[in-house]
């Protein structure tokens, strides 16, 4: 990845506070503005700051067709507190929430702003993402079937390449949904889900089953990021140790769709910047973007937590459950809540909450270093960060 | 087999995209819409005392949530305007009209709406206008059909129809969005599509990496160099990977269940998605040999849909290692 750079993080930055909505399938009692504001007010309260303390706002939102609002940052400017301040919109498909966190962090790390508000949202009930992702351009074959139809063949490839047993996908779903049952903000609460019930659920896009698929959610997330002085003044902030983003084209000959090069490059840059040589030993908890259950073992390999073809063994051994060597998605993850645009920022926020000791019933005991991860498009965009309880 | 490219005209075709988005309004906008259904206009008071019409949910100065409703008149003054000589579908009026910013009496901000003035000569900044309500308001900004000139010389308004009986507050609004595109294929893709219209597959080979792309792209996405060498490809190959689509969805054109498979033509280095039929869905395998089942020749157009589906050839499966790099 010549030219991509693995430069240092610049000035220190820290997460001062996070906020999110209670994710549900339909929040018909609020507008998009009201939904965002709910998450923002909670983040500001968690950070102990007011809107006047915010120097700049970064908004993340998935593709406009998902909600049919062109440039929502225009109509949301006052609701998200951007009046008289710099406002940026970030746009990297499903990874956008993560990229929003990275952009907000970089504005602080660059020394441009003292406190930056990152906010991301999706109101899926106003639209139909499956329809928006399946539009058939002229001259082509109309076989596309939403995100599940896109990813299912690559999941099949993973299973074939790794030799993973078929129950791994169900195991991830059970773990994440049971974790979600401990998270009051999660959309789905399924404490009684079992491997058997997952395997008995309908196969939507063979080999992906209904219970191995993320829900469709309305929700928002906000994060307040401050500079070193703000972090020092805060009670137990989450210090940002490293950030990374990488991209690759959707299709090219020889593209590895199971273990994409851009994800591996982003992870390598992230670990180098954080000074981490053995991620499995040094990361205490990971919030990884897993919209379909099989992506947990796939991303464990892509991120370097396991060798290629071995990620499923960590799952099977229970190492990714709370109490395992690397708890993955103690919040319940994308499998329990999927307000698309916000899902990446939720991974980033949840990783921060863990090292801040504010994760409530899904807190991983003693978590001091955490990963937040997001991917988007056809596995093209990657954004990730490492946060820690200790100052880097 | 290098063939120079002729400067073909790119193919293009309409692409119409439309959806009825369902907006949840929240308390402030919901109250505004509910009042409109009763032929009343309500703004909201801001932190500085100004009355915003239409209402804003959050204060433009302090960003605080706003909640104090203020009734205003359905008459006001044009603050600025422009003339719409050729209205387009979906606009408030289908004959020439004025777009105007109207500051209603009692409001401090202006509302954008249509003014049915008949002629631009009758439009001016400072003119007095009044709302013309529709007969059956539903809780929408379109309950105001348009504004019309008011003040001295205006026709007296007829008696107002009684407000509708609806009692539930308005909480939702459907906003249809329709986008009419003209989708164009590239020069290289157009050559490929015209070959499909003759029952042939053509791709292009990259001069740097030697990979063959179908459809051809005119440039190699890995090397960034132009691709000019055209390659004729057979209409058979293998399934690299696939899924079985069981889920129905809005806009779907093939009835589920169906097999959506990546088909790698012999001699190509990139697979494309197509449909596999001719065997039970659970008999489709990675590495399975398939061939194109073309539609009847008289139905061929410039589209990959000329191939109705791919079907098994019955040849032995390709070994995994032979297509591993295409996954
Ligand atoms: Zn090349």
pLDDT tens string B93-145: 999 999 999 999 999 999 999 999 999 999 999 999 999 999 999 999 999 99
- Contact of B305 with chain A, judged by CB distance below 8 Å, is answered with yes
Q: CB B305 to CB A157 under 8 A?
A: no
Q: What are phi and psi of A174, to 5 degrees?
A: -60, -45
Smallest Cβ–Cβ distance between B213 and the set A65, A154, A253 belongs to A253
Range A157-178 average pLDDT: 98
Window from A93-97, A139-143, A151-155 with minimum mean pLDDT = A139-143
- Substitution target in A253, A261, A301, A379 with the highest count of B β-carbons within 10 Å is A253
CA distance A152 to A205: 6
Q: CB A157 to CB B286 under 8 A?
A: yes
Please say if the pLDDT value at position B2 is more than 50.
Answer: no
pLDDT band for position B165 (50/70/90)? low
**Residue A352: domain span:** 13-129+214-388
CA distance B110 to B53: 6
Please say if the pLDDT value at position B4 is more than 60.
Answer: no
Q: CB A202 to CB B209 under 8 A?
A: no
pLDDT band for position B6 (50/70/90)? low
Bridge partner list, B77: B103, B128
Q: How many CB atoms lie within 10 A of CB B67?
A: 12
Range B185-205 average pLDDT: 96
**Residue A8's pLDDT is what?**
58
Q: CB B251 to CB A65 under 8 A?
A: no
Range B216-232 average pLDDT: 95
Compute the distance from residue B213 Cα to the ligand 1 centre, in Å. Answer: 9
What's the total number of domains in chain A?
Answer: 1
CA distance B278 to B144: 58
Long-range contacts of B278-285 (CB under 8 A, 24+ apart): B278/B309, B278/B310, B278/B311, B278/B312, B279/B311, B279/B312, B281/A206, B281/B244, B281/B257, B282/B244, B283/B312, B284/B239, B284/B242, B284/B244, B284/B259, B285/B239, B285/B317
Tell me which chain A residues have a C-beta less than 8 angstroms from the C-beta of B12: 138
Tell me which chain B residues have a C-beta less than 8 angstroms from the C-beta of A146: 247, 249
Entry pTM: 0.95
- Contact of A137 with chain B, judged by CB distance below 8 Å, is answered with yes
Torsion angle of C-alpha atoms A184, A223, A211, A284, degrees rounded to 10: -90
CA distance B213 to B230: 10
Q: Which chain A residue has the Cα nearest residue B29?
A: A31
- Contact of B219 with chain A, judged by CB distance below 8 Å, is answered with no
CA nearest to B241, candidates A261, A296, A161, A298:
A161
Smallest Cβ–Cβ distance between A204 and the set B13, B221, B247 belongs to B247
Cα distance from B298 to chain A (closest Cα, Å)? 17
Cα distance from B208 to chain A (closest Cα, Å)? 13
Compute the distance from residue A165 Cα to the ligand 1 centre, in Å. Answer: 36
- Substitution target in B13, B26, B201 with the highest count of A β-carbons within 10 Å is B26
Q: Which chain A residue has the Cα nearest residue B65?
A: A79
- Contact of A141 with chain B, judged by CB distance below 8 Å, is answered with yes
Q: Is residue A140 part of a domain?
A: no
**Residue B7's pLDDT is what?**
53
Range B173-197 average pLDDT: 94
Compute the distance from residue B211 Cα to the ligand 1 centre, in Å. Answer: 6
Bridge partner list, B176: B20
Q: CB B252 to CB A145 under 8 A?
A: yes
Please say if the pLDDT value at position B71 is more than 80.
Answer: yes
Q: Is residue A196 part of a domain?
A: no
For A57, A165, A289, B2, the CA distances from A322, given in Å and listed in that order, are 34, 22, 17, 60
More confident residue, A296 or A70: A296
8 A C-beta contact, residue A145 and residue B257: no
CATH of the domain at A306: 3.40.47.10
Smallest Cβ–Cβ distance between A254 and the set B14, B249, B325 belongs to B325
pLDDT band for position B155 (50/70/90)? confident
Q: Which chain A residue has the Cα nearest residue B25?
A: A31
Q: Is residue A185 part of a domain?
A: no
Smallest Cβ–Cβ distance between B246 and the set A125, A146, A206 belongs to A206
Q: How many CB atoms lie within 10 A of CB B306?
A: 20
As for the ipTM of the complex, it is: 0.93
**Residue A3's pLDDT is what?**
40
In the numeric block, which tokens belong to residue A19? Answer: 């906020």
Q: CB B29 to CB A207 under 8 A?
A: no
For chain A, what is the mean pLDDT? 95
Q: CB A254 to CB B56 under 8 A?
A: no
- Contact of A157 with chain B, judged by CB distance below 8 Å, is answered with yes
Give kind and range of the element (H or E) at residue A183. Answer: none
Range B6-32 average pLDDT: 92
- Could you write out the DSSP letters of every residue in A185-197? T-S---TT--HHH
Cα distance from B157 to chain A (closest Cα, Å)? 35
Provide, rounded to the nearest whole percent, the portion of chain B with pLDDT above 70: 95
Tell me which chain A residues have a C-beta less than 8 angstroms from the C-beta of B269: 253-254
Give kind and range of the element (H or E) at residue B319. Answer: none
pLDDT band for position A4 (50/70/90)? very low
Range B213-222 average pLDDT: 95
CA nearest to A51, candidates A237, A221, A222, A227:
A222
Tell me which chain B residues have a C-beta less than 8 angstroms from the C-beta of A166: none
Tell me which chain B residues have a C-beta less than 8 angstroms from the C-beta of A68: 19, 21, 175, 177
Please say if the pLDDT value at position B158 is more than 80.
Answer: no
**Residue B166's pLDDT is what?**
64
Q: Where are the beta strands (DSSP E) in chain A?
A: 13-20, 56-61, 87-90, 115-123, 203-206, 208-209, 218-227, 238-247, 285-287, 369-376, 381-388
Please say if the pLDDT value at position A357 is more than 90.
Answer: yes
**Residue A72's pLDDT is what?**
93
Please say if the pLDDT value at position A119 is more than 50.
Answer: yes
- Could you write out the DSSP letters of every residue in B171-225? -EEEEEEEEEEEEE--HHHHHHHHHHTTT-EEEEE-TTT-PEESS--SB-TTT--
For chain B, what is the mean pLDDT? 94
Torsion sign across C-alpha atoms A264, B273, A64, A298: negative
């Amino acid at each position: 990845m010549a030219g991509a750079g693995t430069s240092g993080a610049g000035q220190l930055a820290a997460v001062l506070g996070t906020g999110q909505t209670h994710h549900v399938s339909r929040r018909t009692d609020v507008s998009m503005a009201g939904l965002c504001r709910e998450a923002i007010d909670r983040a500001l309260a968690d950070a102990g700051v007011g809107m006047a303390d915010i120097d700049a706002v970064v908004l993340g939102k998935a593709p406009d067709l998902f909600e049919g609002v062109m440039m929502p940052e225009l109509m949301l400017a006052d609701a998200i507190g951007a009046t008289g301040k710099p406002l940026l919109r970030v746009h990297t498909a499903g990874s956008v929430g993560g990229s929003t966190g990275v952009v907000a962090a970089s504005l602080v790390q660059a020394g441009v702003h003292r406190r930056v508000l990152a906010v991301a949202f999706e109101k899926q009930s106003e639209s139909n993402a499956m329809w928006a992702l399946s539009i058939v351009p002229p001259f082509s074959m109309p076989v596309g079937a939403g995100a599940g139809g896109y990813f299912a063949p690559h999941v099949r490839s993973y299973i074939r390449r790794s030799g993973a047993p078929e129950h791994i996908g169900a195991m991830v779903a059970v773990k994440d949904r049971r974790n979600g049952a401990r998270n009051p903000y999660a959309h789905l609460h399924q404490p009684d889900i079992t491997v058997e019930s997952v395997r008995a659920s309908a196969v939507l896009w063979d080999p992906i089953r209904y219970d191995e698929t993320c829900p469709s959610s309305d929700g928002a997330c906000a994060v307040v990021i401050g500079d070193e002085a703000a972090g020092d003044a805060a009670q137990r902030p989450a210090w940002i140790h490293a950030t990374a983003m990488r991209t690759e084209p959707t299709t090219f000959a020889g593209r590895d769709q199971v273990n994409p090069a851009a994800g591996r490059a982003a992870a390598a840059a992230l670990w180098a910047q954080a000074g981490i040589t053995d991620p499995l030993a040094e990361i205490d908890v990971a919030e990884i973007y897993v919209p379909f259950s099989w992506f947990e073992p796939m991303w464990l390999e892509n991120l370097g937590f396991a060798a290629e073809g071995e990620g499923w063994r960590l799952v099977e051994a229970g190492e990714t459950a709370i109490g395992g060597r690397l708890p993955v998605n103690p919040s319940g993850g994308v499998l329990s809540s999927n307000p698309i645009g916000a899902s990446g920022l939720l991974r980033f926020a949840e990783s921060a909450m863990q090292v801040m000791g504010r994760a409530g019933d899904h807190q991983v005991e003693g978590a001091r270093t955490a990963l937040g991860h997001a991917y988007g498009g056809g596995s093209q965009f990657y954004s990730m960060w490492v946060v820690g309880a200790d100052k880097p | 087999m290098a063939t120079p490219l002729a400067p073909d005209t790119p193919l293009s075709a309409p692409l119409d995209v439309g959806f009825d988005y369902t907006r949840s309004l929240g308390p402030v906008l919901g109250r505004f819409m509910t009042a409109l259904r009763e032929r009343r206009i309500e703004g909201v008071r801001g932190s500085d005392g100004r009355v915003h019409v239409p209402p804003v949910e959050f204060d433009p100065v302090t960003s605080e949530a706003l909640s104090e409703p203020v009734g205003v008149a359905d008459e006001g003054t044009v603050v600025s305007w422009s003339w719409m000589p050729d209205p387009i579908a979906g606009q408030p009026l289908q004959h020439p009209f004025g777009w105007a910013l109207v500051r209603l009496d009692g409001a401090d901000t202006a509302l954008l709406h249509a003014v049915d003035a008949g002629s631009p000569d009758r439009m001016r900044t400072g003119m007095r206008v009044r709302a013309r309500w529709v007969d059956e308001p539903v809780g929408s900004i379109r309950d105001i059909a348009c504004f019309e000139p008011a003040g001295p010389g205006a026709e007296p308004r007829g008696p107002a129809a009684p407000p509708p009986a609806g009692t539930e507050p308005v909480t939702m609004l459907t906003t249809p969005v329709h986008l009419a595109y003209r989708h164009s294929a590239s020069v290289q893709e157009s050559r490929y599509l015209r070959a499909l219209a003759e029952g042939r597959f053509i791709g292009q080979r990259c001069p740097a990496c030697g990979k063959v792309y179908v459809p051809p792209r005119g440039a190699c996405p890995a090397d960034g160099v132009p691709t000019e060498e055209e390659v004729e490809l057979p209409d058979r190959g293998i399934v690299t990977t696939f899924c079985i689509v069981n889920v129905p969805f809005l806009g779907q054109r093939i009835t589920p269940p169906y097999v959506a498979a990546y088909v790698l033509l012999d001699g190509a280095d990139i697979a494309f998605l197509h449909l596999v039929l001719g065997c039970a869905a659970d008999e489709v395998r990675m590495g399975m040999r398939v061939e194109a089942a073309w539609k009847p020749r008289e139905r061929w157009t410039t589209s990959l849909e000329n191939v109705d589906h791919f079907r098994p050839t019955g040849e032995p499966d390709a070994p995994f290692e032979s297509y591993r790099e295409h996954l």
